[in-house]
Chain A
Amino acid sequence: MDFAVAFDAAREALPYMLGGVIWTVGLIVGAMLLGLFLGVPLAVMQVYGPWPARKLVNTHVWLFRGIPILVQMYIFYFGLLSWLSQVPLLENLGLDSPFVAAVLVLGLTSSAYQSQIFRGAIQSLPAGQLKAARALGMSDAQAIRSIILPQALRLSIPGWSNEYSILLKDSALAFSIGVVEIMARMRSVASATHEPVSMTFLAGIIFFVLTWVGVKALNMLENKVRIAGYTRQGAV
């Protein structure tokens, strides 16, 4: 392999590859947020809900943790969403776009994983927190909103940064249904230039940098919202 040629090819391909970053970032931001907004209520339901709600959450978690993301993408993109996008009222919502399918699949899967991060955090709080809130006359909803979740979400950040780095790499699977993110671009450049090795390295480096930036940002968030008197090593 001629390194100079490979390097030049990579440098030339860089702008095009970086164009994929916007899609990758769109995928993970969408999926993380969807996962967050579903995951928090799922976790609350699983801990405090009546048994039918708990059962429902369990089923959701089993399904989305149990089915490979690639399989889900096919089911959503070629099946469910392409069918839904032909329903008269839904036809203009863009449900047949691969990006939408990928965000949905990644977000729903992430909601299953995130719900378990939040559940663990909620259950790690001392039972006395909820008791004290109830003893003051708070309803369970008030107690969960203003006492339990503010503490549990802080404790969830380390698990959340884990989830971010996993999701980021799972997002590469979206190339299989035609989202032109980093991985998809890597493959097309690789076949056009016959430089698969350097292009693969380049994609790897871009993913690594994205992981690093995101995890760093979440570390900063963790520091910023840390409860006074606590250190990274726990309570002082």
Chain B
Amino acid sequence: MSAIDIEKNGDVPMLEAVNLVKTLGGNRVLDGVSLALPKGCVKVLIGPSGAGKSTLLQCLNFLLPPDAGHISLEGRRVNGGSKRELCAFRQKVGMIFQDFNLFDHLSALENVRVALIKVKGMSKLEATERALAELARVGLKDKATLYPANLSGGQKQRVAIARALAMDPKVMLLDEPTSALDPELIGEVLAVIRDLAQLGMTMIMATHQISFSASLADEFLFMDKGRIVEQGSPAELLGRGSQSRTQSFCAKISELTGVAGEACELGDIKA
């Protein structure tokens, strides 16, 4: 089916990756990964560490340029060789990192505002207004003047989310957004992510928060050794009697954390 046909069907995915291959240090970290994210869809990447989840997410916005394969945004193939095109593409693809990566020398407000001014060319006033609105959305308007060193981990991650949202992304890539957080701070970040999903943001998230993501995800993608080895709705993969690898992986996590267990009990899994 050509791109035009897909468009006629109104079925063109927001973000699509075809056959991504990435070799790092002699290891084939991505071994032919394809995925499509329809508009408004939330997909969750799970799998053992070293499976290639983080590499996949970083290939999706060319932070790590894939060795082979291609990526399309709304049916238009991205030319990773053109710096100008890459910058334009990345504005539309927000990314959240495990360790936040806030700019340490800028206040929360300036963190959110800097790309609006430098990249989008907004006036300082306009950018400030927009940044404050985004900070309010993640509940941090009163922390606008604080610097990253004076924010908690959960607050830092919420500022990072506000910073990404300010660019009006069409897709969000979330790379283990809560893995670096103390347990009591995870909830505030997950709440913001849940809000985003409910607003219809297209997202793909790598995470170990099985129970949370089971309630949110349209689809689980289980990765191992650079490939997507299983995919399906949380109910299919985690439901009672499922023999999936996803199921046994989650059971293993639940032994350690007691969290996945709830999800595997099918409490509030999205069908």
Contacts and interface: CB of A to CB of B under 8 A. Distances in A.
Interface string A125-169: 010110111111111101000110011001000000000000000
B150 A150 contact: no
A151 B105 contact: yes
A144 to B, nearest CB: 12
Contact of A138 (B87, B97, B164): B87
A138 B118 contact: yes
Contact of B90 (A137, A227, A228): A137
A146 B114 CA distance: 8
Interface string B84-127: 00011011011101011111110100000011001100000000
A230 B91 contact: no
Interface of A: 126, 128-129, 131-140, 142, 146-147, 150-151, 154, 227-230, 235-236
Interface in B33-51: none
Interface string B124-160: 0000000000000000000000111110000000001
Nearest to B116: A136
Contacts of B68: none
B163 interface: yes
Contact of A147 (B90, B94, B103): B103
B205 to A, nearest CB: 15
Given A136-B163, A227-B105, 10 more contacts: A126-B101, A131-B101, A135-B95, A137-B87, A137-B90, A137-B167, A142-B119, A151-B105, A227-B104, A235-B149
A132 B148 contact: no
B119 A227 contact: no
B83 to A, nearest CB: 7
26 contacts: A126-B99, A126-B101, A128-B97, A129-B104, A131-B97, A132-B95, A132-B102, A135-B63, A135-B93, A135-B164, A136-B91, A136-B167, A137-B88, A137-B119, A137-B167, A138-B87, A138-B115, A147-B103, A150-B105, A151-B104, A227-B104, A227-B149, A228-B147, A228-B150, A229-B149, A235-B149
B211 interface: no
Nearest to B114: A146
Contact of B105 (A126, A133, A154, A235): A154
A130 B118 CA distance: 15
A24 B61 CA distance: 53
Contacts of A227: 104-105, 147, 149
B101 A128 contact: yes
Interface on chain B toward A: helix, strand, loop, or mixed SS?
mixed
Contacts of A230: 104, 149
B121 to A, nearest CB: 11
Residue among B63, B107, B115, B167 with max Cβ neighbours from chain A (10 Å): B115
Contacts of B90: 134-137
Q: Shortest 7 CB-CB distances between A and B: which pairs?
A: A229-B149, A137-B91, A128-B101, A132-B101, A228-B147, A136-B115, A135-B95
Contacts of B93: 135
B149 A136 contact: no
Interface in B157-202: 160, 163-164, 167
Interface string B69-85: 00000000000000100
A228 B160 CA distance: 18
Contact of A229 (B58, B88, B118, B148): B148
Contacts of A142: 118-119
Contacts of A228: 107, 146-147, 149-150
A140 B118 CA distance: 12
A235 B104 CA distance: 10
Contacts of B164: 135-136
A139 B83 contact: yes
B103 A138 contact: no
Contact of A236 (B94, B97, B100, B149): B149
Contacts of B105: 150-151, 154, 227
B122 to A, nearest CB: 13
B78 to A, nearest CB: 13
A4 to B, nearest CB: 57
A43 to B, nearest CB: 18
B149 A146 contact: no
A140 to B, nearest CB: 8
A131 B115 CA distance: 13
A139 B101 contact: no
A150 B148 CA distance: 15
A134 B63 contact: yes
Nearest to A137: B91
Contacts of B100: 128
